[in-house]
Each structure stands twice: as structure tokens, then as C-alpha cells.
Chain A
Amino acid sequence: MALVTLIEAVTMALAHEMEKDTDVVVMGEDVGKNGGVFRATEGLQKKFGEERVIDTPLAEAMIAGLSVGMASQGMRPVPEIQFMGFVFPAVNQIMTAVARMRNRTRGRLTMPMTIRMPYGGGIHAPEHHSESTEALFAHIPGLKVVIPSNPSRAYGLLLAAMRDPDPVLFLEPKRIYRAVKHEVEDNGEAYPLETCFVDQEGDDVTLISWGAMMYETLQAAEKLAAEGINAEVIDVATVAPMDMTTIFESVRKTGRVVIVQEAPKAGAVGSEIAAEIAEHELLSLIAPIERVSGWDTVMPYAKLEGQYMPTVERILDGVKKVMAFK
């Protein structure tokens, strides 16, 4: 057992899988000698060599496109995009090749790769470093989009992603890279990508979130408990394809839903959850679905970031609204 942060858990999972499977190669900008700008790949090049922890030229489309070629040869590339804000040149590759090669070739060529990238706001980073654009990718059939919310899940979910036969975008909430430490045993045990995690059981209201916002959500749940409101808290974790079964079960129990996301509100993962609930569990609802989210604005720079990010207070206000319905 080691007491590790989320980012250390990422490194631990990478090292574990590289040890076990020589087809796993890590590649990206500054991932080798420098160990990644956040140190996610710290020490890996020393341990596994320059041929398995590869410093690439500075070109994101190339990182994704090269991974396509390597995966087609049966390798399991784990490319890193330095920040999610820089993934857009690679979207051509992700959309037209990564997500659909299995389909295009009727299963002949597959794309077992895990594209890692830090995402989200809250660290007062420069422009283009703080967006939460998971919904853009969650919309693409053929991809899986996975977001860990704590060190244990980062370890278990990243192992699952690297072992998955299909491409996974692994979005690491960088605000909580070093927020807490968990006891994580390096036992190689993967977590399932097919299910949400129920982090707290409750009967009064279902709080649904993922990634860094799980912290505010769990804090809100704690405050609600002090007021006698029992919240059920769900960490979606795999936002695409999503496990609705767990969410529906909870909605049937509580009848009230608050979705918490850092991304802008419109056309987001939260919208999909709300639509699914409306489609399948409308009659289980006591109150309209409430979404607490980032605003429908361009992600502000550091100075206004605090006014953008959803807070515990806003979550509590959302819960108050749904609790008003009896």
C-alpha cells in the first residue's frame, strides 16, 4: 500500500501496465526526460527506455495519427496530449480514424489505445488550459471517455482503459492531481468501465457528477446530511458510453436529481443524463431535474475563473430547489 495522489496513481498504473505488457508504449510531448509537464510519466523513461517512453515532435495530430498506425500493428499506445486545450488538431484523427477504425474495417483493424490528457479549470492556468470539453468526445460513437475523480479510481480506471480493446480518452482532472492522497495498492486490479460508482447512499436526492466536481459534490452532500437531507452521490466516471442503469435505480429511489458539471451547461454530458432520465424515468421524478454547471461562456482566464466554477454553495442552492417539491 502506498499513500498516493491522483497523478502518482496515474504513474503507478502506467508503470504497472508497461511492466506487464511490452506492447504498451507511452508517447507525447515532454513525457520522456522531463516526465511530463505535470510529472505523470516521471521516471518511466529511465525504467523502460526511450523506445517505450517516447518524446515526440510537437504536433498533436501526429501523436494521435501515429498511435493509430501503432495500434493497427497490435501495439497499445498511451499517447499524452499535454493539455486538453491542445487536443483539437488531433480531433481529425480521433474522429475519422481512432473512433471508427474497427467499424471501417469490420473488425479487421482495432484501436486499443488510451489517450490521456489533463483537463478542467481551477488552477489559474493560462488561456486554453482550463476547459472541460468532454461532451465533444462523448458524442463520438466508438470512443470511450473516462474521468477519474480520486487516486484509487485513477489507478483502477487507467488500468482498465489500457486493457480495453477499444480506444479510451482518459481525462485527468488536473485541479485534483494533488488534492488528496489515497492508500492504493499496486495490485494491478482494474475497475470496470461499464458502471458508475455510488459513493454515498441516500434516499432524498441524487447528486450526479464526475471528475474534480466530485469534491464539491461530496462536500455538499456532507452539509446536506447535517441538515437531515440524505443525498445519494454518483460518480459517473465513464461518461461515454454511460451506465444509465445505476442512475435510473437511484432516481427511482430519490425522485430528485441534481447534476453537477464543470463544463458549460448546453449540449453537455449533463444534458444527456437529464434527457435519458426524462425519457425513461420521468414518472419517477418528484421535482424537475436541476443542473449546476459552468456557464455557457468561453472559459474565463484566471481572474474570473472563480466566478465560473460551480461551488458547494451553488450545489446546495440546486438541492434546495429540488427539495422544495414534496
Chain B
Amino acid sequence: MSTAASFEIPYVQLLNEEAKPANDLPEFARDAEIMKKLYKDMHFLRAMDTKAISMQRIGRMRTYPGALGQEAVSVGAGSCLTKDDVLVPYYRGTGTMIQKGVEPHEILLYWGGDERGSDFKNPNCKEDFPIAVPIATQILHAAGVASAMKLRGQKGRAVLTEIGEGGTSEGEFYEGINVAGAWNLPMVCVINNNHWAISVRPDEQTSCETFAQKGIAAGIEVVQVDGNDVIAVREVVGKALDKARNGGGPTLVEAVTYRLCDHTTADDASRYHDQETHDKAWENEPLKRLKAYMVNAGLATEEDLDALQAMCKGEVDKEVEIYFDYLENKPQKPEAMFDYLYETLPEKTVPQREEVIRRAK
């Protein structure tokens, strides 16, 4: 017997668990401004999630999915996007969306039950997709956007999409990466492997040793990265996006991290997680590692970093104020449910709209 083909799954870690850097750190990892921004943006995400979850507990937010412990994945990946790229996010991509330029209060508005949260006002986000809830549907949308870019011969643009590791069991995930490979599309897909698909473990999801290797079957470049190492995530996704923008085709990135929060506010992870594993995962969370690296590398003092972290709460509160202002002072008109169904509301449906207006008075 000979070998028909063989494959390797590369793994990238640039800061190890002890925050010791690899020899060949990328240039940006020595840039204090870039690193401070990453640090602060990850803390902002954590502060926003914390606030959203506490608002949910007192009835001022609907179901909300946090990203505790996974901030390096979304912030690291999102930090590589330019305004010309298109983001096709999923429900745990709050960090990625904010990096692209989506206003945080828009994301709060969406999870607060208001459709206007997906009408992104930032001109840099006009082509970005709303949050995908039906699992893996977004992978095909990303491939479609990338197809449009390719068919129109646009250079310098790429699409970034994200999915959880559980989502990679969906047919539409395979269909999406398959066509991305077949057509050499400018698309990067990041798998947030946080070890939990609500209550289901990776070993219950697949017998694959890695989720990255699923891309091998699609014939595309794959890489597994330490998802608690923001430098590695940014480096890997940044290179993948650059490759895509230059006609080099798609990449599947698996970022290995751990979900330190519930799936959403409607979940209780203590029903199924193992406390010991959970506690151990806390030791490996991304912000602690990043802080240790930055202080050791002389990029910032501990006080600088604590000050950045402290700023986040006030900034989140400002976003919450805008969110409340929408809900309380500028609520959607009831007839809005009719006004974006079609460009022109069908004649048959007009009386329903009128009735809604009449009854709301």
C-alpha cells in the first residue's frame, strides 16, 4: 500500500500559557499602541457582556450570548478587517462586529429585541451581514459575498465569517467551505472551538482530532491556533485575509479556546460542565496572558493596563444609555413589521398594517 495523499494540521501559538513569547513574534506584537488597543478592546467586550447579562437578569435585555474567555478569538480576528472587507458574523461574534465598526449599542439593540440593531449606521459596515442565528447558514452567505467579489474582479477585499465548533457538524458548513475551495474564494472562516455546543462536547460532535482538518476535505488551507493567544489569532487571521485579498483563496482557522460563560443567558452550564476543567480553563484565559506579556515586554505598565480596563465600564455605560434611549424614547413604530417585508407592501396586507396602527393608538 502506498499513500494517495497526506496532510498536516499546523498549530500556531505565539505566547505560551506562561505568556512566554515565541522567538519570531510578529512586528505588531512589539507595537505598544496596537497591543494596548487589543487589550482594551478585549476588556471592553468582557465589560459589555457582563453588563448585558446583568441587564438580562433584571429584565432589561433579552437572551444574550456572552463570549467570556473567548475574547481573543473575536477581537483578534476582527482586528484584521478593513472597511473594504465584509463581515458575516454569527451570534458569538460581538467582538468581531465591534472591531469592524458596528456600534456596540446596535448589538445591544439586536439582543434587546429590536430589528434596528442590524441596520448598521457605520458606513464601513453597510455591506456586513446581520448576526446569523440559524447555525452555519452564514458560511454560505460568506461564500456568496466572496463569489460576488470574485466574479466582479474586485481585488483587495475579503470576507470573514465565524462559526462555533458545534456548527461545523452542519451540512451548510461543509457546503460553504467546499465551494470556497472549488472556486478559490476570498474567504476566511474562523471556528471558535470553545469546547461546548451548548452542552455537547467536541468528542460527542465528531471523531476528528481537530476541527481545522474538516477543511482538508474541502481542499483549502487550514490552521489551528491557540484561541487564548490574541497575538497568534491576529497573526494567523491577518495572514489568511491578506492571502484572500490577493487572490490566494480561502482559509479555515480553528481557534481553540474555552467557554467560561453559559451558552446564553437562557443556559446554565453548571448542569453539564466539569468544575475542575472549568476552573483550570480560568487559569488559561486570554487577558491574563496578554497582560503578563505586555508588562514583561515593557509595552505597558500594570497601572497603564488597569487604567485601560477601568475605562471600559464607563464606555459600556454610554452604549447602554444609547440602547435605553432607543427603547424608551425612540421605540420602533408597530407598523415597522410591515414596512420592510417587501419594497412595496402587497395590497392584501395593507389593511393588516392599518389595523396594527389603529390598535396601537
Contact = CB atoms under 8 A, between A and B. Distances in A.
B137 A97 contact: yes
Interface stretch (B27-35, B141-149, B277-285): B141-149
A108 B341 contact: no
Contacts of B116: 106
Interface residues of A, number: 46
7 contacts: A25-B151, A73-B152, A96-B137, A103-B337, A107-B119, A166-B342, A194-B346
Contacts of B140: 61-62, 64-66, 68-69, 93
A69 B115 contact: no
Interface stretch (B122-130, B208-216, B252-260): B122-130
A275 B264 CA distance: 42
Interface in A65-114: 65-75, 89, 92-93, 96-97, 101-110
A13 to B, nearest CB: 21
A72 B176 CA distance: 17
B311 interface: no
Contact of A89 (B88, B171, B341): B171
A103 B340 contact: yes
A244 B145 contact: no
Nearest to A104: B130
B118 interface: yes
Given A96-B134, A109-B129, A104 B145 contact: no
Given A65-B140, A141-B341, A244-B348, A103 B175 contact: no
Nearest to A74: B148
B94 to A, nearest CB: 17
Contacts of A62: 140, 143, 172, 175-176, 178-179
A95 to B, nearest CB: 9
Given A92-B134, A92-B172, 4 more contacts: A71-B144, A72-B145, A73-B149, A96-B137
A102 B142 CA distance: 17
B137 A92 contact: yes
Interface string B169-199: 0011001101100100000000000000000
B361 to A, nearest CB: 23
B134 A73 contact: no
A74 B152 CA distance: 11
B172 A97 contact: no
A51 B343 contact: no
Nearest to B172: A61
B327 to A, nearest CB: 16
Interface string B88-115: 1000000000000000000000000001
B347 A69 contact: no
Contacts of A97: 134, 137, 141
Contacts of B130: 101, 104-105, 109
A57 B348 contact: no
A243 interface: yes
Q: Which 8 A/B pairs are nearest by Cβ-Cβ distance? A: A69-B144, A65-B140, A241-B346, A73-B148, A106-B119, A62-B175, A66-B144, A69-B145
A267 interface: no
B144 A105 contact: no
Chain A CB within 10 Å — which of B129, B144, B178, B349 has the most?
Answer: B144
B136 to A, nearest CB: 9
A165 interface: yes
B120 interface: yes
A142 interface: yes
A106 B337 CA distance: 9
A316 interface: no
B137 A194 contact: no
A69 B179 contact: no
Given A57-B182, A62-B176, A92-B172, A51 B348 contact: no
A108 B119 contact: yes
B100 to A, nearest CB: 14
